[in-house]
Amino acid sequence: MGPLKGAGAVVRELRQARATGDPFSWVIDATHPFATTVRGQLLEACSAEAQPLIRLLRRDGGMAVASGTESAAPMLRLKQMQDLVEVDLRRRRLLLAIGSRHLAALVPLLPGAVLHARVLPEPRAIRLALAAGIRAGRLACLRPGPLATGGLPGAVEAGLCRRWGIEAVLFRASGGANEESWHRIARAGGLTRLILEAPAAPPVPRGLTHHRLTAPALLQWLGRPGDR
């Protein structure tokens, strides 16, 4: 959890494991698709130490099939945040669901939009959102995930969209449950989807989906160094 403190720290961890007679067979890169710094550090360290590296490939949440009861929702994919200057969002109620770190750079790209934001319930995230110009009454602090009562993931976010009268939502193509949740919310509410594409990732020898990575046969194979 948290920052890796550079490729050197990863190298030291790998070498210490070998020195104690319990080396790692594999390193699995399961980082967020937008965590470019950490991905680069893992690749650099593993390449330097000839350490086998596998990357977890997240599936595209946008590929999920909408049910017949959901309304159509426009969708626009963005290569970078600056592409938003080409989108007319004046007087539209927009929810920013990309975290707090990039809000300061993002807000100037959206003149005239009625901005709302969802950030993590952490002091630094709240400070960044307020400093970027998000009004306190348009700021939601919550950690993504299903409700403790067994609700559907994204239920709180869906309620916020209804309460605030959201017309469009900006989120990242991060794969996995979080992206899938935003596609479902947008389709159900007829919201315009503005999707920020993930940056290109450096290639690795292997990339596997969650289901393939956790398949019993593969786990058995990974545990047999002589078969590598």
pLDDT single digits (tens) 70-99: 446 688 999 888 999 999 999 999 999 998
Name which of 123, 130, 67 is nearest 104 in CA terms: 130
Distance (Å, whole) CA 216 – CA 106: 44
For the chain, what is the mean pLDDT?
A: 81
What's the mean pLDDT in 20-29? 88
**Whole-number pLDDT of residue 226:** 46
Task: Measure Cα distances from 5 to 18, 20, 125 in Å.
Answer: 20, 22, 21
Bridge partners, 168 (sequence order): 94, 192
pTM to 2 decimals?
A: 0.69
What percentage of the chain exceeds 90 in pLDDT?
39
How many H-runs (helices) and E-runs (strands) does the chain carry?
8, 9
Residue 131: enclosing H or E segment and its boundaries?
helix 123-131
> Which pLDDT band, with edges at 50, 70 and 90, does 175 fall under?
confident
- DSSP assignment of 150-190 equals SPPTTHHHHHHHHHHT--EEEEE---HHHHHHHHHHHHHHT
* Pairing verdict, β 53-57 and 27-29: parallel
Structure-token match 């909408």, residue found: 66
Name which of 128, 131, 130, 193 is nearest 161 in CA terms: 193
* 112-145 per-position pLDDT tens digit: 999 999 999 999 999 999 999 999 999 999 887 6
Residue 181 has pLDDT above 80, yes or no: yes
DSSP state of 65: P
